Amino acid sequence: MNRKLGLLSVVGIFIAFAGIAQTSVDNYPSKNWYNEDAKGQKVNGVSTEEAYQLLHGKNSNTVIVAVIDAGIDISHEDLRDVIWVNEKEIAGNGIDDDNNGYIDDINGWNFLGSKDGMNVGPENLEVTREYRRLKDEYENKKPSKKADYLYWKEIEKGYLDGLKKAESQSDFYGNVVNAILRNEKLLTAYLDVDELTPELLLTIESPDQQIEQGAAFMANILSMVGDGDFYEFVGQWEETFNHYNNQVEFSYNIDYQPRVIIGDDLSNLEEVGYGNNDVTGIDTDNTHGTHVAGIIAAKRDNGIGIDGIANNVKIMALRAVPDGDEYDKDVANAIRYAVDNGAQVINMSFGKGYSPNKNYVDEAVKYAENHGVLLVHAAGNAGADIDEQPNFPTKKIGKKQFATNWLEVGASGWGKDNQLAASFSNYSHQSVDIFAPGVQIFSTAPGNNYIEFDGTSMASPVAAGVAALILSYYPHLTPVDVKDILMQSSRKFDGLMVIKPGTTDEEVDFAKLSVSGGIVNAYEAIKLAESRSIKSQ
């Protein structure tokens, strides 16, 4: 978009973009809705408290859940008591006491850090890294191998289209924010007031066209703000601008290569020990990982913050997800680390469009499968069928094999009827196994704070938390058992037509969006686990 976009053009585009349906605050569920019950609280949660009623008086075992993410605030008031501690390692002595290749790995490992304590924050998208890798070999040259050339053309288009969109959106949102702030300053000075109101703006009559246009623009803005806070409204638009601006500066910038600070050999996929033990990720944004960890295991019944789903869990923090796309090398090595250090469940709330070293990730998935570790993965937020638009890593290994220890999770909302499937959630009747709550999920945030997020990134830890809860009370179960129990016990909605994710009005049977056709339900899962346990005795 032209960087010199005029005010009137901005007004027109802004009004078009702002026509987004908003839910009345009166209709919002409780902050704990994802733990609640369809019968008791009339929301489509996972019935956590009802599950604990069934488990009353039963002994539980500690389950280690690895969270591969962007780092975790392990000092958070609601998490510090549930963080895994490597008892084989002596903190701070600079020695690999347990001989696992990682020095002083007390709470997990940071695959995105350097030996001198620096950390990778923003990163390229994988399509950018692939574009940079292939550009000199294929750009404006005759193809040597057709398949390789077709892959290059796909990468080239994906990169250039993505960069163009990021630049356009950055320009648009930047222009809108600047127009709001500029006109607010101009008109408050013109009217000699501290705050603008629609009534005051209607009183303006000026021969100055800039004043007249500014008044019309701000009247539209204030009508959209309504009873909300003006500066919070502007802040949301600034956040969106920052998102797209960061894409231009980091995600799609082929000259930006932060990986060099780590000092590892990217060609050596089996390299062990690179990175550091800063699982928090100092000076980087660890909000996402902290939020995910809280959903799974925030300390229950402590009278503060929130209650996580599982009551006897230790969170192993594995930092491998930057602000951008993760490297296959880091994902695979994080999975292997988790398996080798006793994790029984691994949550993976991340994904990307390309996976150049997928074979190495597949080997790590099989390694987890062979060691009885369940992998829970977020389906992604593109509102797409992942059979047509893959979201890596995937449970598909090679051309025909599928990992049996893999649970792919889509996101559902708290609402009823056709709003049940989250509008952003990826789906697939073949590759998404189940849905779980992923809309307006309230959980932990850095600095003893709490925040609400949407995403399959939130649905995945809901499912992982329920899986950990099952394993805690029924430790003899295998990953295949747990997955089967979750899917068989999922709450079904016979014949319910919902708005298909990624569309505005197309309807589809909710049962067609996943293999199980249902939503995770802890209460029913515990009933089924108990029933199978009795039968096996």
Residue segments in the chain with a per-residue pLDDT below the cut of 70:
1-27, 536-537
Q: What per-residue confidence (pLDDT) applies to 388? A: 95
- Residues forming a β-bridge with 412: 421, 437
Range of the domain at 231: 129-251
- Would you state the structure tokens that stand for residue 22, as one six-digit string? 């908003």
Q: What per-residue confidence (pLDDT) applies to 71? A: 98
CA angle 248, 253, 255 (to 5 degrees): 150
Residue whose tokens read 């339900």: 521
- The answer to whether the beta carbons of residues 156 and 227 sit under 8 Å apart is no
Out of 198, 217, 251, a domain closes at: 251
Is the whole-model pTM more than 0.75? Answer: yes
Taking residue 209's Cβ as centre, other Cβ atoms within 10 Å add up to: 9
What span, in angstroms and rounded, lies between the C-alpha atoms of 317 and 71?
A: 7
Could you tell me if 234 and 284 lie in one domain?
A: no
CB-side neighbour CA atoms (13 Å) of 486: 34
Does residue 25 sit within a domain?
A: no
Question: What is the Cα 333 distance to its own chain's centre?
Answer: 20
Could you tell me if 48 and 195 lie in one domain?
A: no
Could you tell me if 276 and 247 lie in one domain?
A: no
Does residue 20 sit within a domain?
A: no
Q: What per-residue confidence (pLDDT) applies to 468? A: 98
Could you tell me if 374 and 487 lie in one domain?
A: yes
Does residue 14 sit within a domain?
A: no
Phi, psi of 500 (to 5 degrees): -65, 125
- The answer to whether the beta carbons of residues 365 and 83 sit under 8 Å apart is no
What span, in angstroms and rounded, lies between the C-alpha atoms of 502 and 374?
A: 29
What span, in angstroms and rounded, lies between the C-alpha atoms of 40 and 37?
A: 5
Residue whose tokens read 């329920």: 466
Does residue 289 sit within a domain?
A: yes
Out of 216, 251, 286, a domain closes at: 251
Phi, psi of 355 (to 5 degrees): -145, 85
Q: How many domains does the chain have?
A: 2
Burial track 250-286 (b if 16+ CB lie within 10 A, e otherwise): bbbbeebebbeebebeeeebeeeebbbbbbbbeebeb
Could you tell me if 428 and 294 lie in one domain?
A: yes
C-alpha distance from residue 171 to each of 8, 33, 175, 250 (Å) = 15, 38, 6, 16
Q: What per-residue confidence (pLDDT) applies to 27? A: 65
Does residue 211 sit within a domain?
A: yes
Could you tell me if 297 and 413 lie in one domain?
A: yes
**Domain CATH number, residue 412:** 3.40.50.200
Helix axes 7-17, 146-191, angle to 10 degrees: 110
Phi, psi of 135 (to 5 degrees): -55, -50
Does residue 99 sit within a domain?
A: yes
Could you tell me if 298 and 442 lie in one domain?
A: yes
- Write the pLDDT tens digit of every residue in 374-420: 999 999 999 999 999 999 999 999 888 999 999 999 999 987 789 99
CA proximity to 492, closest of 510, 477, 470 = 510
Residue whose tokens read 């049940």: 420
Question: What is the Cα 512 distance to its own chain's centre?
Answer: 23
Does residue 198 sit within a domain?
A: yes
Could you tell me if 380 and 294 lie in one domain?
A: yes
Could you tell me if 212 and 280 lie in one domain?
A: no
Could you tell me if 112 and 140 lie in one domain?
A: no
Alpha helices in 118-145 (DSSP H): 126-138
CA proximity to 378, closest of 491, 479, 459, 439 = 459
Does residue 8 sit within a domain?
A: no
Could you tell me if 205 and 280 lie in one domain?
A: no
Could you tell me if 136 and 112 lie in one domain?
A: no
- Residues forming a β-bridge with 376: 347, 407
